[in-house]
Amino acid sequence: MLRTYMKRGALPDAPTRKALPESVQKWLKQWRRFQLRDGMLCREVMDARTHEIYFQILCPTERRKEVWQRYHEAAAHAGVEKTLSRIRRFFYWPCMEGEVQEFQLGCAVCSLRNREAPRAPLHPIKVSYPLEVVALDFLTLGRPTDRYQNILVMTDLFTHYAWAVPTKDQTAQTAVHALWAHVIQTFGCPAGNGGVERLNQTLLHMLRTLEAEKQQRWPEFLPELLQAYNNTVHGATGYAPSYLMFGRHLRQPVDVNLGVDPEPLCHDLKGWVRDHYQKLSFAYEMTRKNKNSAATQNKRVYDKRAQALPLVPGERVWVKDRDRQGQGKLHPGWSPEPHVVLERVGDTGVVYRVRPEKGGREKVLHRNALKLCITPATDNYSPAPEDNQEVQTLVEPPFYCVVPNVPALQDGLPDLRRSTRSNFGQPPARYRL
Ligand SMILES: [Zn+2]
Protein backbone atom coordinates (compact mmCIF):
# COMPACT_ATOMS: atom_id res chain seq x y z
CA MET A 1 0.00 0.00 0.00
CA LEU A 2 2.81 2.31 0.97
CA ARG A 3 4.44 1.56 -2.35
CA THR A 4 1.34 2.76 -4.20
CA TYR A 5 1.46 6.08 -2.36
CA MET A 6 5.19 6.37 -3.00
CA LYS A 7 4.67 5.90 -6.72
CA ARG A 8 1.91 8.49 -6.71
CA GLY A 9 4.22 10.76 -4.70
CA ALA A 10 1.52 12.00 -2.36
CA LEU A 11 -0.02 11.05 0.95
CA PRO A 12 -3.72 10.16 1.12
CA ASP A 13 -5.94 12.80 2.72
CA ALA A 14 -6.60 12.77 6.46
CA PRO A 15 -9.97 10.91 6.48
CA THR A 16 -8.57 8.14 4.21
CA ARG A 17 -5.53 7.88 6.44
CA LYS A 18 -7.63 7.45 9.56
CA ALA A 19 -9.46 4.53 7.93
CA LEU A 20 -6.20 2.71 7.19
CA PRO A 21 -4.93 -0.09 9.42
CA GLU A 22 -2.89 1.18 12.35
CA SER A 23 0.30 -0.45 11.07
CA VAL A 24 0.07 1.48 7.79
CA GLN A 25 -0.63 4.71 9.67
CA LYS A 26 2.57 4.18 11.62
CA TRP A 27 4.52 3.82 8.40
CA LEU A 28 2.97 6.95 6.96
CA LYS A 29 4.25 9.02 9.88
CA GLN A 30 7.79 8.41 8.60
CA TRP A 31 6.75 9.23 5.05
CA ARG A 32 9.59 11.68 4.34
CA ARG A 33 12.25 9.11 5.10
CA PHE A 34 11.05 6.56 2.58
CA GLN A 35 12.52 6.10 -0.88
CA LEU A 36 12.26 3.56 -3.64
CA ARG A 37 15.72 2.25 -4.42
CA ASP A 38 16.13 -0.45 -7.06
CA GLY A 39 12.44 -1.20 -6.71
CA MET A 40 12.85 -1.76 -2.97
CA LEU A 41 11.20 0.37 -0.35
CA CYS A 42 13.92 1.85 1.86
CA ARG A 43 14.13 4.11 4.89
CA GLU A 44 16.82 6.73 5.21
CA VAL A 45 18.63 6.76 8.55
CA MET A 46 21.55 8.61 10.04
CA ASP A 47 23.76 6.67 12.40
CA ALA A 48 23.97 8.76 15.58
CA ARG A 49 27.41 7.41 16.37
CA THR A 50 29.15 7.58 13.04
CA HIS A 51 27.02 10.25 11.30
CA GLU A 52 26.81 8.00 8.26
CA ILE A 53 23.68 8.07 6.14
CA TYR A 54 22.45 4.65 5.17
CA PHE A 55 19.34 2.95 3.88
CA GLN A 56 17.34 0.23 5.55
CA ILE A 57 15.22 -2.08 3.43
CA LEU A 58 11.67 -2.37 4.78
CA CYS A 59 11.52 -6.04 5.53
CA PRO A 60 8.23 -7.78 4.68
CA THR A 61 6.64 -9.76 7.52
CA GLU A 62 7.26 -13.17 6.02
CA ARG A 63 11.02 -12.61 5.64
CA ARG A 64 11.75 -11.16 9.08
CA LYS A 65 12.49 -14.42 10.82
CA GLU A 66 14.84 -15.48 8.06
CA VAL A 67 16.73 -12.18 8.16
CA TRP A 68 17.02 -12.41 11.93
CA GLN A 69 18.20 -16.01 11.77
CA ARG A 70 20.90 -15.29 9.18
CA TYR A 71 22.35 -12.39 11.18
CA HIS A 72 21.97 -14.14 14.51
CA GLU A 73 23.84 -17.18 13.21
CA ALA A 74 26.46 -15.09 11.44
CA ALA A 75 27.13 -13.34 14.76
CA ALA A 76 27.60 -16.78 16.38
CA HIS A 77 24.34 -16.51 18.32
CA ALA A 78 25.04 -13.11 19.82
CA GLY A 79 22.56 -11.50 22.24
CA VAL A 80 19.53 -9.39 21.27
CA GLU A 81 21.31 -6.03 21.22
CA LYS A 82 24.21 -7.25 19.14
CA THR A 83 22.04 -9.11 16.66
CA LEU A 84 19.76 -6.08 16.36
CA SER A 85 22.62 -3.71 15.73
CA ARG A 86 23.71 -5.83 12.79
CA ILE A 87 20.23 -6.22 11.31
CA ARG A 88 19.58 -2.48 11.63
CA ARG A 89 22.38 -1.63 9.28
CA PHE A 90 20.37 -3.01 6.39
CA PHE A 91 16.81 -3.77 7.48
CA TYR A 92 13.94 -2.16 9.27
CA TRP A 93 10.48 -3.16 10.36
CA PRO A 94 8.19 -1.73 13.05
CA CYS A 95 8.60 -3.16 16.56
CA MET A 96 11.72 -5.03 15.49
CA GLU A 97 13.19 -5.00 18.99
CA GLY A 98 10.32 -6.94 20.50
CA GLU A 99 10.20 -9.36 17.62
CA VAL A 100 13.91 -10.07 17.64
CA GLN A 101 13.73 -10.60 21.39
CA GLU A 102 10.96 -13.15 20.83
CA PHE A 103 12.92 -14.94 18.10
CA GLN A 104 15.97 -15.17 20.37
CA LEU A 105 13.99 -16.66 23.24
CA GLY A 106 12.96 -19.44 20.90
CA CYS A 107 16.48 -20.17 19.68
CA ALA A 108 17.38 -23.68 20.82
CA VAL A 109 21.11 -23.28 20.23
CA CYS A 110 21.19 -20.17 22.44
CA SER A 111 19.28 -21.66 25.32
CA LEU A 112 21.42 -24.79 25.31
CA ARG A 113 24.77 -23.12 25.23
CA ASN A 114 24.13 -20.51 27.90
CA ARG A 115 26.11 -21.76 30.82
CA GLU A 116 26.52 -19.74 33.92
CA ALA A 117 29.64 -17.72 33.39
CA PRO A 118 32.06 -17.88 36.31
CA ARG A 119 32.51 -14.55 38.02
CA ALA A 120 35.80 -12.84 37.67
CA PRO A 121 36.73 -9.53 39.25
CA LEU A 122 36.50 -6.53 36.97
CA HIS A 123 39.41 -4.16 37.01
CA PRO A 124 39.29 -1.69 34.17
CA ILE A 125 42.52 -0.39 32.69
CA LYS A 126 42.68 3.19 31.42
CA VAL A 127 43.40 3.48 27.71
CA SER A 128 42.83 6.39 25.38
CA TYR A 129 43.84 5.43 21.83
CA PRO A 130 43.99 2.31 19.64
CA LEU A 131 46.83 -0.17 20.15
CA GLU A 132 48.05 1.57 23.29
CA VAL A 133 47.68 -1.61 25.32
CA VAL A 134 47.02 -5.11 24.09
CA ALA A 135 45.83 -7.66 26.64
CA LEU A 136 46.98 -11.25 26.32
CA ASP A 137 45.29 -14.24 27.78
CA PHE A 138 45.35 -17.98 27.29
CA LEU A 139 42.10 -19.85 27.14
CA THR A 140 42.27 -23.59 27.85
CA LEU A 141 39.60 -25.72 26.28
CA GLY A 142 40.16 -28.87 28.35
CA ARG A 143 39.82 -31.24 25.39
CA PRO A 144 42.75 -33.63 25.82
CA THR A 145 42.47 -35.20 22.36
CA ASP A 146 42.69 -31.93 20.40
CA ARG A 147 45.81 -30.99 18.45
CA TYR A 148 45.71 -27.49 19.93
CA GLN A 149 44.94 -27.27 23.63
CA ASN A 150 44.80 -23.51 24.00
CA ILE A 151 43.76 -20.30 22.37
CA LEU A 152 45.87 -17.20 22.84
CA VAL A 153 43.43 -14.30 22.90
CA MET A 154 44.85 -10.83 22.23
CA THR A 155 42.63 -7.79 22.64
CA ASP A 156 43.31 -4.15 21.95
CA LEU A 157 41.88 -2.54 25.06
CA PHE A 158 40.73 0.67 23.35
CA THR A 159 38.90 -0.66 20.29
CA HIS A 160 38.32 -4.18 21.72
CA TYR A 161 39.58 -5.50 18.42
CA ALA A 162 40.62 -9.10 18.98
CA TRP A 163 42.92 -11.74 17.53
CA ALA A 164 42.86 -15.40 18.49
CA VAL A 165 45.51 -17.99 17.74
CA PRO A 166 45.34 -21.72 18.53
CA THR A 167 48.45 -22.77 20.46
CA LYS A 168 49.89 -26.03 21.74
CA ASP A 169 51.25 -24.64 24.99
CA GLN A 170 51.05 -21.58 27.20
CA THR A 171 54.68 -20.51 27.30
CA ALA A 172 55.81 -16.90 27.15
CA GLN A 173 57.72 -17.77 23.99
CA THR A 174 54.54 -18.92 22.25
CA ALA A 175 52.77 -15.73 23.33
CA VAL A 176 55.55 -13.47 22.10
CA HIS A 177 55.76 -15.32 18.80
CA ALA A 178 52.02 -15.01 18.18
CA LEU A 179 51.99 -11.35 19.23
CA TRP A 180 54.81 -10.64 16.82
CA ALA A 181 53.24 -12.50 13.90
CA HIS A 182 49.67 -11.28 14.30
CA VAL A 183 49.83 -7.85 15.88
CA ILE A 184 53.26 -6.21 15.84
CA GLN A 185 54.14 -7.00 12.22
CA THR A 186 50.97 -5.31 10.99
CA PHE A 187 50.19 -2.70 13.61
CA GLY A 188 53.40 -1.85 15.43
CA CYS A 189 54.44 -2.31 18.99
CA PRO A 190 51.83 -1.79 21.72
CA ALA A 191 52.41 -2.12 25.45
CA GLY A 192 51.54 -5.56 26.75
CA ASN A 193 49.15 -6.38 29.53
CA GLY A 194 48.27 -9.62 31.20
CA GLY A 195 44.77 -8.43 32.09
CA VAL A 196 41.97 -10.91 31.79
CA GLU A 197 39.32 -9.86 29.29
CA ARG A 198 35.67 -10.77 29.18
CA LEU A 199 36.21 -11.92 25.62
CA ASN A 200 37.23 -15.37 26.84
CA GLN A 201 33.68 -16.10 27.88
CA THR A 202 32.28 -14.67 24.66
CA LEU A 203 34.68 -16.75 22.63
CA LEU A 204 33.73 -19.91 24.51
CA HIS A 205 30.07 -19.03 23.92
CA MET A 206 30.73 -18.70 20.22
CA LEU A 207 32.69 -21.95 19.99
CA ARG A 208 29.91 -23.77 21.81
CA THR A 209 27.41 -22.76 19.17
CA LEU A 210 29.37 -24.75 16.60
CA GLU A 211 27.80 -28.10 15.78
CA ALA A 212 29.48 -31.14 17.34
CA GLU A 213 31.22 -32.10 14.11
CA LYS A 214 32.60 -28.58 13.62
CA GLN A 215 33.74 -28.42 17.22
CA GLN A 216 36.21 -31.16 16.33
CA ARG A 217 37.77 -28.74 13.84
CA TRP A 218 37.36 -25.56 15.88
CA PRO A 219 40.68 -23.96 14.81
CA GLU A 220 39.28 -23.72 11.26
CA PHE A 221 36.24 -21.80 12.42
CA LEU A 222 38.03 -19.50 14.83
CA PRO A 223 38.77 -16.77 12.23
CA GLU A 224 35.11 -16.66 11.21
CA LEU A 225 33.97 -16.31 14.81
CA LEU A 226 36.57 -13.62 15.46
CA GLN A 227 35.44 -11.72 12.40
CA ALA A 228 31.87 -11.85 13.67
CA TYR A 229 33.06 -10.60 17.05
CA ASN A 230 35.13 -7.76 15.60
CA ASN A 231 32.22 -6.60 13.46
CA THR A 232 29.62 -6.54 16.20
CA VAL A 233 29.00 -3.52 18.42
CA HIS A 234 30.87 -3.82 21.71
CA GLY A 235 29.01 -2.84 24.86
CA ALA A 236 31.95 -0.95 26.34
CA THR A 237 32.45 1.40 23.38
CA GLY A 238 29.16 1.41 21.49
CA TYR A 239 31.08 0.69 18.28
CA ALA A 240 32.16 -2.42 16.42
CA PRO A 241 35.87 -3.03 17.14
CA SER A 242 36.72 -3.10 13.43
CA TYR A 243 35.03 0.27 12.95
CA LEU A 244 37.24 1.86 15.60
CA MET A 245 40.29 0.15 14.19
CA PHE A 246 39.72 0.80 10.48
CA GLY A 247 37.12 3.58 10.36
CA ARG A 248 34.58 1.61 8.36
CA HIS A 249 32.21 -1.31 8.65
CA LEU A 250 33.71 -4.41 7.10
CA ARG A 251 31.49 -6.32 4.70
CA GLN A 252 30.32 -9.66 6.04
CA PRO A 253 29.58 -12.86 4.09
CA VAL A 254 26.01 -12.71 5.40
CA ASP A 255 25.57 -9.19 3.93
CA VAL A 256 26.71 -10.43 0.55
CA ASN A 257 24.48 -13.50 0.83
CA LEU A 258 21.41 -11.44 1.52
CA GLY A 259 22.36 -9.04 -1.25
CA VAL A 260 22.42 -5.99 0.98
CA ASP A 261 25.64 -4.44 -0.20
CA PRO A 262 25.77 -0.74 0.54
CA GLU A 263 26.80 1.45 -2.38
CA PRO A 264 30.41 2.50 -1.98
CA LEU A 265 30.79 6.23 -1.51
CA CYS A 266 33.11 7.62 -4.15
CA HIS A 267 35.72 10.05 -3.00
CA ASP A 268 39.00 11.30 -4.21
CA LEU A 269 41.89 10.39 -1.95
CA LYS A 270 41.97 13.68 -0.03
CA GLY A 271 38.23 13.47 0.56
CA TRP A 272 38.61 9.95 1.82
CA VAL A 273 41.39 10.90 4.21
CA ARG A 274 39.51 13.91 5.57
CA ASP A 275 36.33 11.88 6.01
CA HIS A 276 38.18 9.04 7.60
CA TYR A 277 39.93 11.36 10.03
CA GLN A 278 36.71 13.12 11.03
CA LYS A 279 34.82 9.88 11.50
CA LEU A 280 37.52 8.42 13.68
CA SER A 281 38.06 11.58 15.74
CA PHE A 282 34.37 11.62 16.54
CA ALA A 283 34.25 7.90 17.29
CA TYR A 284 37.33 8.07 19.53
CA GLU A 285 35.91 10.93 21.53
CA MET A 286 32.63 9.07 21.99
CA THR A 287 34.50 5.92 22.94
CA ARG A 288 36.52 7.71 25.60
CA LYS A 289 33.30 9.06 27.08
CA ASN A 290 31.54 5.70 26.81
CA LYS A 291 34.42 3.88 28.42
CA ASN A 292 34.21 5.93 31.58
CA SER A 293 30.51 5.32 32.04
CA ALA A 294 30.69 1.73 30.80
CA ALA A 295 33.16 0.76 33.47
CA THR A 296 30.71 1.56 36.25
CA GLN A 297 27.69 0.29 34.37
CA ASN A 298 29.35 -3.01 33.47
CA LYS A 299 30.09 -3.70 37.05
CA ARG A 300 26.49 -3.16 38.06
CA VAL A 301 25.11 -5.45 35.36
CA TYR A 302 27.79 -7.99 36.04
CA ASP A 303 27.12 -8.15 39.75
CA LYS A 304 23.38 -8.46 39.31
CA ARG A 305 22.35 -12.07 39.02
CA ALA A 306 18.97 -13.30 37.90
CA GLN A 307 17.04 -15.24 40.51
CA ALA A 308 15.90 -18.70 39.45
CA LEU A 309 12.11 -18.72 39.58
CA PRO A 310 10.23 -21.70 41.05
CA LEU A 311 8.94 -24.22 38.48
CA VAL A 312 5.37 -25.42 38.04
CA PRO A 313 4.38 -29.03 37.16
CA GLY A 314 3.96 -29.37 33.41
CA GLU A 315 6.61 -26.77 32.59
CA ARG A 316 9.24 -27.73 30.02
CA VAL A 317 12.88 -27.51 31.11
CA TRP A 318 16.42 -28.19 29.92
CA VAL A 319 18.46 -30.45 32.16
CA LYS A 320 22.12 -29.92 33.01
CA ASP A 321 24.29 -32.49 31.29
CA ARG A 322 27.42 -33.49 33.15
CA ASP A 323 28.56 -36.06 30.60
CA ARG A 324 31.14 -34.04 28.68
CA GLN A 325 32.65 -36.86 26.59
CA GLY A 326 35.96 -35.11 25.97
CA GLN A 327 34.29 -31.90 24.75
CA GLY A 328 35.72 -29.97 27.70
CA LYS A 329 34.62 -26.34 27.86
CA LEU A 330 33.01 -26.57 24.44
CA HIS A 331 30.26 -28.78 25.82
CA PRO A 332 27.01 -26.81 25.81
CA GLY A 333 26.35 -27.79 29.42
CA TRP A 334 22.69 -28.61 28.82
CA SER A 335 21.24 -31.79 27.37
CA PRO A 336 19.42 -31.11 24.06
CA GLU A 337 16.38 -33.11 25.15
CA PRO A 338 13.52 -31.13 26.75
CA HIS A 339 12.11 -32.52 30.02
CA VAL A 340 8.79 -31.92 31.76
CA VAL A 341 8.45 -30.99 35.44
CA LEU A 342 6.32 -33.56 37.29
CA GLU A 343 6.34 -32.25 40.85
CA ARG A 344 8.28 -30.44 43.53
CA VAL A 345 10.04 -32.84 45.92
CA GLY A 346 10.31 -32.20 49.64
CA ASP A 347 9.80 -28.78 51.19
CA THR A 348 13.06 -27.01 50.38
CA GLY A 349 11.34 -25.71 47.24
CA VAL A 350 14.39 -26.26 45.06
CA VAL A 351 14.23 -29.97 44.17
CA TYR A 352 12.07 -31.27 41.33
CA ARG A 353 11.12 -34.58 39.74
CA VAL A 354 11.38 -34.41 35.94
CA ARG A 355 10.92 -36.77 32.99
CA PRO A 356 12.09 -36.54 29.33
CA GLU A 357 9.33 -35.07 27.19
CA LYS A 358 9.37 -38.06 24.85
CA GLY A 359 9.16 -40.43 27.79
CA GLY A 360 11.93 -42.17 29.70
CA ARG A 361 13.53 -42.39 33.10
CA GLU A 362 12.49 -39.93 35.78
CA LYS A 363 15.14 -37.88 37.56
CA VAL A 364 15.18 -35.87 40.76
CA LEU A 365 17.20 -32.70 40.30
CA HIS A 366 18.13 -29.45 42.00
CA ARG A 367 16.69 -26.22 40.54
CA ASN A 368 20.20 -25.16 39.50
CA ALA A 369 20.36 -28.15 37.15
CA LEU A 370 17.12 -27.08 35.44
CA LYS A 371 16.47 -24.25 33.04
CA LEU A 372 13.15 -23.11 31.64
CA CYS A 373 12.76 -24.19 28.00
CA ILE A 374 11.07 -21.62 25.79
CA THR A 375 11.78 -23.26 22.44
CA PRO A 376 8.42 -24.26 20.88
CA ALA A 377 7.54 -27.95 21.33
CA THR A 378 7.15 -28.40 17.58
CA ASP A 379 10.69 -27.22 17.06
CA ASN A 380 12.44 -30.56 16.93
CA TYR A 381 15.91 -29.47 17.77
CA SER A 382 18.64 -31.36 16.05
CA PRO A 383 22.02 -30.16 14.86
CA ALA A 384 21.92 -28.65 11.38
CA PRO A 385 23.14 -30.79 8.44
CA GLU A 386 26.87 -31.04 8.28
CA ASP A 387 27.61 -29.83 4.78
CA ASN A 388 26.75 -26.22 5.44
CA GLN A 389 27.47 -24.41 2.23
CA GLU A 390 27.86 -21.02 3.85
CA VAL A 391 31.01 -22.04 5.66
CA GLN A 392 34.04 -20.75 3.88
CA THR A 393 37.02 -22.95 3.29
CA LEU A 394 39.92 -21.59 5.22
CA VAL A 395 43.49 -21.76 4.17
CA GLU A 396 46.38 -22.66 6.45
CA PRO A 397 48.37 -21.02 7.91
CA PRO A 398 45.57 -18.98 9.41
CA PHE A 399 45.90 -15.24 9.75
CA TYR A 400 43.28 -13.84 12.01
CA CYS A 401 42.97 -10.22 11.30
CA VAL A 402 41.76 -8.25 8.35
CA VAL A 403 44.39 -5.92 7.01
CA PRO A 404 42.90 -2.57 6.02
CA ASN A 405 43.53 -1.44 2.52
CA VAL A 406 44.82 2.01 3.35
CA PRO A 407 45.96 3.99 0.33
CA ALA A 408 49.36 5.58 0.71
CA LEU A 409 48.93 9.12 1.95
CA GLN A 410 49.99 11.95 -0.31
CA ASP A 411 51.74 15.20 0.47
CA GLY A 412 49.58 18.11 1.55
CA LEU A 413 48.16 16.43 4.63
CA PRO A 414 51.18 16.39 6.92
CA ASP A 415 49.14 15.97 10.10
CA LEU A 416 47.78 12.67 9.00
CA ARG A 417 50.94 11.02 7.85
CA ARG A 418 52.11 7.95 9.70
CA SER A 419 55.25 8.99 11.57
CA THR A 420 58.34 6.99 12.41
CA ARG A 421 57.83 7.78 16.02
CA SER A 422 59.75 6.67 19.05
CA ASN A 423 57.30 8.05 21.59
CA PHE A 424 56.35 4.88 23.40
CA GLY A 425 53.78 5.41 26.09
CA GLN A 426 52.56 8.69 24.52
CA PRO A 427 49.56 8.88 22.24
CA PRO A 428 50.60 9.80 18.70
CA ALA A 429 49.47 13.27 17.60
CA ARG A 430 46.71 11.97 15.31
CA TYR A 431 44.86 10.49 18.31
CA ARG A 432 44.93 13.66 20.35
CA LEU A 433 41.83 15.74 19.95
ZN1 LIG B 1 20.78 -18.46 18.94
Considering only 77-86, 266-275, 407-416, which range has the smallest mean pLDDT?
407-416
> 33 CA distance to ligand 1 centroid (A)?
32
CA of 104 to the centre of ligand 1 (A): 6
- At 308 the pLDDT is 53
pLDDT of residue 121 exceeding 50, the answer is no
What span, in angstroms and rounded, lies between the C-alpha atoms of 57 and 45?
11
Which of 113, 142, 170 is where one domain is finished?
Answer: 113
User: Ligand 1 centre and the CA of 147: distance in Å?
Assistant: 28
> What is the band of 70 on the pLDDT scale with cuts at 50, 70, 90?
very high
Range 337-344 average pLDDT? 89
pLDDT band at 366 (very low <50, low <70, confident <90, very high): confident
Q: What is the CATH number of the domain that holds 356?
A: 2.30.30
Are 95 and 165 contained in the same domain?
no
pLDDT of residue 3: 74
Residue 295's pLDDT is 59
Same structural domain for residues 168 and 294?
A: yes
C-alpha 1 to ligand 1 mean position (Å) = 34
CA-nearest of 428, 404, 418 to 190 is: 428
Gap from CA of 295 to ligand 1 centroid (Å): 27
Predicted confidence (pLDDT) per residue in 174-188, tens digit = 988 998 899 888 888
Amino acid at 111: S
Instruction: State whether 26 and 159 are in the same domain.
Output: no
Q: What is the pLDDT of residue 123?
A: 52
Domain check: are 140 and 58 in the same one?
Answer: no
CB 57 within 8 A of CB 33: no
Asked whether residue 150 falls in the same domain as residue 292, the answer is yes
pLDDT tens digits, residue range 224-257?
889 888 988 887 788 889 999 988 877 778 888 8
CA 116 / ligand 1 centre spacing (Å): 16
Domain end, chosen from 85, 113, 141, is at 113
Query: Is 383 part of any domain?
Result: no
Other CB atoms within a 10 A radius of the CB of residue 125 amount to: 13
Could you give the CA distance from residue 74 to residue 270 in angstroms, rounded to a whole number? 35
pLDDT at position 125, please?
Answer: 67
Distance 77 CA to ligand 1 centre (A): 4
Task: Please tell me the predicted confidence (pLDDT) of residue 291.
Answer: 74
Sort 107 into a burial class: Cβ within 10 Å, 0-12 / 13-18 / 19+. buried
Q: Is residue 382 part of a domain?
A: no
* Among candidate residues 282, 303, 324, the one where a domain is terminated: 303
Same-domain pairing of 180 and 254? yes
**Distance from the alpha carbon of residue 73 to the mean position of ligand 1, in angstroms:** 7
Rg (CA), the chain: 25
101 CA from centroid of ligand 1 (Å): 11
Q: How far is the CA of 74 from the centre of ligand 1 (A)?
A: 10
CA of 78 to the centre of ligand 1 (A): 7
Backbone angles phi, psi at 271, to 5 degrees: -60, -40
Give per-residue pLDDT as tens, 146-177: 899 899 988 888 898 999 999 998 888 898 89
CATH code: domain of residue 29? 1.10.340.70
* Count of domains for the chain: 3
More confident residue, 274 or 266: 274
Is residue 393 situated within a structural domain?
no
> Does the pLDDT of residue 419 top 60, yes or no?
no
Rounded distance between C-alpha atoms, residue 146 and residue 219, angstroms: 10
Residue 405 alpha carbon to ligand 1 centre in Å: 33
Give me ligand 1 centre to Cα 284, in Å: 31
- Quote the ligand 1 centre to 421 CA distance (angstroms): 45
Q: Answer yes or no: is pLDDT of 394 > 70.
A: no
Say how many Å lie between the CA of residue 105 and the centre of ligand 1: 8
- Answer yes or no: do 285 and 357 share one domain: no
Phi, psi of 149 (to 5 degrees): -95, -20
Q: How far is the CA of 75 from the centre of ligand 1 (A)?
A: 9
Average pLDDT, the chain: 75
Residue 418 forms part of a structural domain: no
pLDDT at 413: 35
CA of 426 to the centre of ligand 1 (A): 42
When pLDDT is averaged across residues 286-296 and rounded to a whole number, the result is 73
CA 170, 112, 308, 302 torsion: positive or negative?
positive
Most confident residue range from 96-105, 260-269, 295-304, 314-323: 96-105
Question: Per the domain annotation, does 102 fall within a domain?
Answer: yes
| Ligand 1 midpoint to CA 207 (Å) | 12
Residue 26 C-alpha to ligand 1 middle, in angstroms?
A: 30
Least confident of 20-24, 108-112, 328-332, 385-389: 385-389
Which stretch, 197-201, 297-301, 385-389, has highest mean pLDDT? 197-201
351 Cα to the center of ligand 1, angstroms: 29
pLDDT of 163? 92
User: Which range has the worst mean pLDDT, 72-86, 184-198, 300-314, 394-408?
Assistant: 394-408
Partners of 35 in beta bridges? 42
Residue 399: inside a domain, yes or no? no
CA of 113 to the centre of ligand 1 (A): 9
Amino acid at 217: R
Report yes or no on 384 lying in a domain. no
Give residue 225 CA to ligand 1 midpoint distance, Å: 14
Do 141 and 109 sit in the same domain of this protein?
no
pTM metric for this prediction: 0.59
Least confident range from 44-48, 75-79, 83-87, 258-262: namely 258-262
- Range of the structural domain that residue 50 is part of: 2-113
Q: Are residues 143 and 291 in the same domain?
A: yes
Query: At 197, is the pLDDT very low, low, confident or very high (cuts 50, 70, 90)?
Result: low
Query: Do 153 and 103 belong to one domain?
Result: no
Ligand 1 centroid – CA 83 distance (Å): 10
Specify whether 155 is located in the same domain as 286.
yes
How far apart, in Å, are the Cα atoms of 354 and each of 111, 157, 314, 367?
18, 45, 9, 11
Task: DSSP for 268-319, please give it.
Answer: -HHHHHHHHHHHHHHHHHHHHHHHHHHHHHHHHHHH--PPPPPP-TT-EEEE
Structural contact between residues 160 and 241, judged by C-beta atoms closer than 8 angstroms: yes
Q: For residues 273 and 201, state if they share a domain.
A: yes
| 37 or 355, which is more confident | 355
Residue 281 lies in a domain: yes
Is a pLDDT exceeding 90 seen at residue 120? no
d(CA 383, CA 37) in angstroms, rounded, equals 38
Ligand 1 midpoint to CA 108 (Å): 7
Cα(240) to centroid(ligand 1), Å: 20
